[in-house]
Structure 1
Amino acid sequence: MTASLDDLLRPQHVRDNLGAWRWSVRRQLVPVRDRLRLEHPDRGEAWLSARASRALRERDELLTRLNTLASQVLVAPDVDDLADRLNRLLVDIAHHHQRVHDLAYDDVELEIGGSE
């Protein structure tokens, strides 16, 4: 059974088998990176365009952080700190996905005249 990335970042997993943990985390980061790369918020109306541009900038920043941490997974001496930073990144990515979802919802609401 393969542990999820959230499970792998819990402290007890870090100390079990460090080499296996590092490779498992690195493998689990690939779909996270792929999902972020494929994300393209629609720019829609002018007022949504600024929010979509912000979402794209935020996505690029998250990808940069993800790539930096992914390169450190195999070599970082302090794996507890690395696990903490990866956890923070996952929370930030979840918040980003919610903002992108809200942006798409606002765009659909605008198209169908859902505001008062």
Structure 2
Amino acid sequence: MTVETGSAVEFLVTPDAWKSLPKMPEAEYPGTEGFIGDVYENPGGSVMCSGYFELRHTDAPLYYEYEYDEMKVVLEGEFLLENKETGQKTVAKKHDAIFFPKGSKIYFTTPDYALAFYAGHRDSTLL
């Protein structure tokens, strides 16, 4: 990767972007309380999108199939993660980093509440 030294590029800061996230559609995620929103959608032509994911406790797990690579960092609470295809189960706690490779089929639950920041290698239309 080359960096142009002749042009200046500004960085972005968006305060409080984790507040008031849109609820994930009930039709796609029945019985769950998930909230998600991109803060940056392919900014400046980047191949990345990033934002926040919040999950509240329900009896139903939130199932998500990744069509792209994504990383998450748990900011609050904990996520119980399960991939039923591989049998993998784990708990991701505050400050843990998570990588979901493209094709991952993940069931998310939380005993109470969890909030994560994510960055995905995807176009903004895939959320």
TM class by smaller structure = under 0.3
What TM-score results when the alignment is normalised by the length of structure 2? 0.22
- The structure with more radius of gyration: 1
* Structure with bigger RCO (C-alpha 8 Å, 6+ apart): 1
What TM-score results when the alignment is normalised by the length of structure 1? 0.24
Higher share in strand = 2
